[in-house]
Each structure stands twice: as structure tokens, then as C-alpha cells.
């Protein structure tokens, strides 16, 4: 259960920080362009393709597709308009004032080259704690050359990396003002 709350909190912080920073810097057009790169579903929702990078040392760390799909369902249920009025974790006085974000997360169906994808990449590694930053700020998990999985273009995909993180916090997201095309993602234990 902590995994779910950590995952949701990191995504929300990343999204909110991105909106706040872009608007503060007067780059509203950039935000509009980024949003338009994600597909609009038939219900007017923004569909965000997610790529899960599972980087594991042993079979216990190689989580199943069913676990990934269950977490994606939980994430989408948080953004489901039907669930908000009944969500008792939101104070009642705020439930009716909440605007529906109209966001839907789905597994990426195409890779950056246009080939079919199931939205899940699995890479075996020999690196201990691959999900922890190394040498200060280097994310080995986000680089195939360093034993991880290569990040997909963050302007088109939400990259979620799952790997061993025993010597660091259970999860972290890269703040948009610090993110690059090589480090923009969420890293989870």
C-alpha cells in the first residue's frame, strides 16, 4: 500500500511542480505543446502513455505484468471522476470543489521508433541498488550503458523505473526544472 501512495505522491508532485514552474516562467505555450503531444481520448481525456522499465538483479525483483497492471488501475482510479465524490480521504468541503483532471494513464503501445510495445521493458542487471543515484546525481537505472534501461522521450512518455533501492528513499521523481531528456522519470523500489 505504501508503494501506491508513494507512486501517486511522486507523480502529483512532478505534475504540479511542472505546471507551477512553467507558468511562473511564462512558458504557457510550452506546457500547451507538451500536453498536445499526448493523445486525446474520445472522452476528451488526456491519455498519457506509460513505459515501465523493470530493472532487476534476481527473479524476486522482476515483478509480474499483473502487478504493473494493478498499479496502473489504482493510479487511474485516483483520477477517475466517479471516485472523487466518494473518496473519504478528501475532506467533504473540498470534494465538490474538485475539478476533474481528465487524465488517463495507459501502457505505451508504440516505442519511440513506431514499433509495437506492450509498455513494459525488462532488463536484468548486475548492479546493486540500480535505482539509487550513483556518484551524486547519475541515474544508472536510466541508462542502458550503465546497466539500466534507456529512457524514452519524456515529452511523449511517462517513464517509470522500478529497481532495487535499498540504500536510498523508496522512490523519487525528478523535478522538471532539473530534468533532462536523460533523467525525466519516476524511480521506484
The share of the chain scoring above pLDDT 70, in percent, equals 73
User: In angstroms, rounded to a whole number, what is the distance separating the alpha carbons of residues 120 and 123?
Assistant: 10
Which pLDDT belongs to residue 24?
Answer: 28
Least-confidence region, from 11-25, 64-78, 157-171: 11-25
Rounded CA separation 59/174 (Å): 27
pTM for the structure as a whole: 0.74
CA pseudo-torsion sign 131, 134, 138, 144: negative
Other CB atoms within 10 A of residue 185 CB? 24
pLDDT single digits (tens) 23-49: 223 333 444 444 455 555 545 578 899
3 state DSSP class of 5: helix
Low-confidence winner among 14-18, 36-40, 50-54, 167-171 (lowest mean pLDDT): 14-18
pLDDT band at residue 16 using 50, 70 and 90 as cut-offs? very low
**Per-residue model confidence (pLDDT) at position 14:** 43
Helix (H/G/I), strand (E/B), else coil: 138: strand
Q: What is the pLDDT of residues 139-153, one digit of tens each?
A: 889 999 999 999 999
Amino acid at each position: 500500500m505504501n508503494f501506491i501512495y508513494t507512486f501517486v505522491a511522486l507523480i502529483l508532485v512532478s505534475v504540479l511542480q511542472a505546471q507551477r514552474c512553467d507558468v511562473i516562467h511564462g512558458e504557457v505555450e510550452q506546457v500547451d505543446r507538451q500536453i498536445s503531444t499526448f493523445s486525446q481520448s474520445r472522452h476528451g481525456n488526456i491519455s498519457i502513455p506509460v513505459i515501465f522499465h523493470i530493472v532487476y538483479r534476481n527473479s524476486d525483483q522482476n515483478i509480474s505484468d499483473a502487478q504493473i497492471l494493478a498499479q496502473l488501475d489504482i493510479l487511474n482510479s485516483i483520477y477517475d471522476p466517479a471516485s472523487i465524490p466518494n473518496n473519504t480521504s478528501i475532506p467533504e468541503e473540498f470534494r465538490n470543489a474538485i475539478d476533474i483532471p481528465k487524465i488517463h494513464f495507459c501502457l505505451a503501445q508504440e516505442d519511440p521508433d513506431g514499433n509495437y510495445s506492450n509498455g513494459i521493458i525488462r532488463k536484468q542487471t548486475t548492479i546493486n541498488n540500480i535505482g539509487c543515484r550513483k556518484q551524486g546525481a547519475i541515474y544508472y537505472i536510466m541508462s542502458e550503458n550503465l546497466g539500466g534501461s534507456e529512457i524514452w522521450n519524456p515529452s511523449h512518455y511517462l517513464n517509470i523505473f522500478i529497481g532495487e533501492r535499498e540504500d536510498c528513499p523508496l522512490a523519487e521523481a525528478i523535478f522538471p526544472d532539473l530534468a533532462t531528456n536523460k533523467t525525466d522519470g519516476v524511480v521506484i523500489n
